[in-house]
Amino acid sequence: MPPGIRPGENPPFHRLGEYIFQDLCRDLFEEEEEIATCSIYGERGQSQDGIDLLSLRKGGDGIEVGQCKCYKNLLPTKISEASDKFFEHWDRWSKDNVKRFILFVACDLSERKRVDEVIVQRKRFEAVGIVYEAWSTTKIRNRLRPHPSIVGRYFANADHWIKDICGEAPPAFPATGERTTETSVVVSAAIVNQLEELVTLVSGETEKHLQLMRTAWQEGREEEPIKWLNDLKCDNALWRVLSPQVKAKVLCFEASLEIGVKGNITQAKKLADEAQTLAPSHNQSRLRALIAYHEDGPEAASRLLEGQQDVESLNLRAAFLLELGRVDECQAILNFASGGLESNV
């Protein structure tokens, strides 16, 4: 990200792009005092039920959610539409003890019509007992001030932005030959940032390969994903640096293979539980439904997929309903899926 024209100028967050901006908001959300963990809610192509981020509060005291809008210029109508998306799924969220909703935007919100719309939405959420906040570029910048590692992770020209946003320059290693003590040796923030960027890059590339292996599995090429999984988990150095979210996705995929190839339900449940510990908010509906199918039959499995809107879950539930002889319900699901969702293999 290029330096600003003047000191104190808000970073052009919209230049990060939709998904990088979302990742930045996730990391910043997780730094909130009452938050235990924050995760991206849903993979690309999956229904997100009107949110992008889901945070678990410390002590199990409910959840907080967020929606991210990476626009250079956000119309007031988009502010209300973001709330509409959330309330379209109120039947689901009303049961989950949502404490706060944050709208993260990559632009300024000081224009009068935007301010007025934020006030309207705040009252709308207050009516159902939820705190509503809209984080503009200024708010995000201020929240980033105590977190130089996050700034360095996402911004090009990191040294400039760390100094400009956080008010400090990255500390440097002592010069060669300079005597140091244990308390004076400080790891360079720039190097730490580069390491974090590397972890993000490796996790991202692994997630891309994971999607390719899912496709290979769905197309009947079983040997490829099995070999890839074995190689990945045998590479201890690589496995250690992957993010918890990506590890959880890999473990869920491995659990699916345990069911599909070996019929090993016990090992599949063990892997699913391990993934749940790593990323509590990761959606395991399909995997848990497959486990339930083998343990309790198609009726129990079908119930676990109620409310899921992604193609894979809809197809799987349709198969369970067909096995149960509930043909009309099966047809209704297939009609819905073919009407607005992109087909896959």
* CA–CA separation, 143 and 132 (whole Å): 17
- pLDDT of res. 187: 46
The CA-to-CA distance between both ends of the chain, in Å, stands at: 38
pLDDT band at 197 (very low <50, low <70, confident <90, very high): low
pLDDT by residue (tens digit) across 138-166? 999 999 998 888 888 888 778 888 888 88
pLDDT averaged over every residue in the chain: 84
* CA–CA separation, 57 and 278 (whole Å): 16
Pairing of strands 35-40, 98-105: unpaired
* CA–CA separation, 105 and 76 (whole Å): 12
pLDDT above 90 as % of the chain: 41
- Reported as half-sphere exposure (CB side, CA atoms, 13 A), residue 84 has a value of 7
Instruction: Provide the sign of the torsion angle of the four alpha carbons 278, 154, 33, 281, taken in this order.
Output: negative
pLDDT by residue (tens digit) across 46-78? 678 999 999 999 888 899 999 999 998 999 999
pLDDT by residue (tens digit) across 83-137? 999 999 999 999 999 999 999 999 999 999 999 999 999 999 999 999 999 999 9
| Least-confidence region, from 113-117, 180-184, 262-266 | 180-184
- pLDDT of res. 182: 40
**pTM more than 0.75:** no
- In the chain the domains, ranked by start, together with CATH numbers, are 13-154 (3.40.1350.10), 201-340 (1.25.40.10)
Integer-rounded Cα radius of gyration of the chain? 23
- pLDDT of res. 157: 78
pLDDT band at 339 (very low <50, low <70, confident <90, very high): low
| DSSP string of 132-177, one letter each residue | EEEE-HHHHHHHHTT-HHHHHHH-SSHHHHHHHHHS-PPP-PPPTT
Instruction: Provide the sign of the torsion angle of the four alpha carbons 42, 338, 88, 121, taken in this order.
Output: positive
pLDDT by residue (tens digit) across 228-259? 888 888 877 778 778 888 888 999 999 999 99
Residue predicted with more confidence, 305 or 174:
305
* CA–CA separation, 30 and 38 (whole Å): 5
